[in-house]
């Protein structure tokens, strides 16, 4: 009897594990959703920010590092944080976060007129070269003229998407990745020094969150200025749905994993390339 119980327990565990595996959404479906939602393009932007951060840090260093080392770092960053690599990691995270039952509701939104409109506006806003300060100024103007209902919808969107925490965590992670990249071409950098940098940035997280919290409302008011009050409310309601929450969770995990994987690939690339010496 005990043997049967053990065997049945193993069988049940295997059945549950198999069910969980079968519940994962196919990668092509997750990729389709990423494209329709706009996150496909946003991941390219994220990688570009990391690469730009490294280039900016190298420029500030002046001649403190050999040119060959700088070139090697940027070349490895282009590979490690390229759009294709980041997208593949993020899509896998989305596929693992969703259940098949979530897909119809997500497609109904993204294939609908309002869903396409919102995704288009978000993509256009991300691509705009408007100065960040100007975005906030214009967003603040929009808020002053906004109804209470519109402000409530904007706040709901910020809350449901966890935008403030995500922006803060992404900023911290990108800063760490940049520093780790620079350490990869600096023989004097130690693991403890990198650990100290991580601890310092983590300790500053409350201030970083507060800064992004102040920026969120005007930034979103600017981004969604083209939506009417009713449309904005519909978007906020959609984001509160179980399917949208699951997709949002997968997207958040995807961004975090893409940055982490990129950092690992960057370190591997720099190691394989070998040290670059000053001429």
Q: Where are the domains of the chain?
A: 26-273
Provide the token pair at 92.
Answer: 């896998």
- Predicted confidence at residue 187, as pLDDT, reads 67
- Predicted confidence at residue 31, as pLDDT, reads 94
CA angle 105/107/111 to nearest 5° reads 125
Encode the chain (279 residues) as per-residue pLDDT tens digits.
Answer: 433 333 334 333 333 333 334 447 999 999 999 999 988 888 877 888 888 888 888 887 666 677 888 888 888 888 888 888 889 999 999 999 999 999 999 999 999 999 999 998 888 776 665 688 888 999 999 999 999 999 999 999 999 988 898 888 888 888 888 887 877 777 666 777 778 888 888 899 999 999 999 999 999 999 999 999 999 999 999 999 999 999 999 998 898 888 889 888 888 888 776 554 444
> 272-277 contacts: CB < 8 A, separation 24 or more?
273/72, 273/76, 275/69, 275/187, 276/66, 276/68, 276/69, 276/71, 276/72, 276/185, 277/66, 277/68
- Predicted confidence at residue 23, as pLDDT, reads 40
Q: How many CA atoms lie within 13 A of 229 on its CB side?
A: 10
Residues 84, 86: Cα–Cα separation, whole Å: 6
**Whole-prediction pTM value?**
0.79
Residues 159, 236: Cα–Cα separation, whole Å: 9
Provide the token pair at 165.
Answer: 């925490």
List the one residue out of 226, 225, 227 whose CA is nearest residue 217. 225
Neighbours of 7 (CB within 10 A): 10
Helices 67-80 + 163-183 axis angle, to 10: 140
Provide the token pair at 178.
Answer: 């940049």
Q: Residue 26 gets which letter from DSSP? A: P
Residue that the structure tokens 């690599």 belong to: 85
Residue 100 is inside which H or E element, if any? none
- Predicted confidence at residue 12, as pLDDT, reads 34
- Predicted confidence at residue 274, as pLDDT, reads 59
Provide the token pair at 262.
Answer: 């990129």
Query: What burial letters (b/e) apply to 52-86, b meaning 16+ CB within 10 Å?
Result: ebbeeebeeeeeebeeebbebbeebbeebbbeebb
């Amino acid at each position: 009897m005990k043997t049967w119980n053990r065997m049945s327990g193993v069988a049940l565990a295997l059945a549950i594990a198999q069910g969980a595996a079968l519940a994962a959404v196919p990668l092509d479906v997750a990729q389709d959703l990423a494209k329709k939602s706009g996150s496909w393009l946003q991941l390219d932007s994220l990688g570009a920010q990391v690469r730009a951060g490294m280039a900016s840090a190298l420029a500030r260093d002046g001649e403190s590092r050999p040119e060959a080392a700088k070139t090697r770092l940027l070349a490895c960053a282009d590979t490690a944080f390229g759009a294709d690599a980041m997208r593949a990691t993020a899509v896998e995270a989305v596929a693992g976060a969703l259940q098949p039952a979530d897909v119809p509701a997500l497609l109904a939104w993204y294939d609908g007129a309002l869903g396409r409109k919102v995704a288009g506006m978000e993509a256009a806003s991300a691509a705009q070269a408007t100065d960040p300060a100007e975005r906030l100024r214009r967003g603040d103007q929009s808020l002053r003229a906004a109804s209470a209902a519109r402000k409530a919808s904007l706040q709901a969107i910020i809350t449901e998407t966890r935008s403030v925490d995500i922006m803060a965590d992404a900023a911290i992670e990108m800063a760490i990745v940049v520093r780790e990249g620079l350490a990869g071409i600096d023989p004097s950098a130690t693991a403890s020094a990198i650990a100290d940098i991580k601890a310092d940035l983590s300790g500053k997280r409350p201030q970083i969150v507060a800064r992004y919290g102040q920026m969120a409302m005007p930034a979103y008011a600017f981004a969604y200025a083209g939506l009417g009050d009713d449309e904005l409310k519909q978007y906020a309601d959609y984001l509160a749905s179980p399917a949208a929450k699951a997709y949002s969770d997968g997207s958040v995990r995807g961004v975090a994993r893409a940055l982490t994987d990129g950092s690992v690939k960057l370190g591997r690339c720099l190691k394989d390339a070998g040290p670059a010496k000053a001429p």
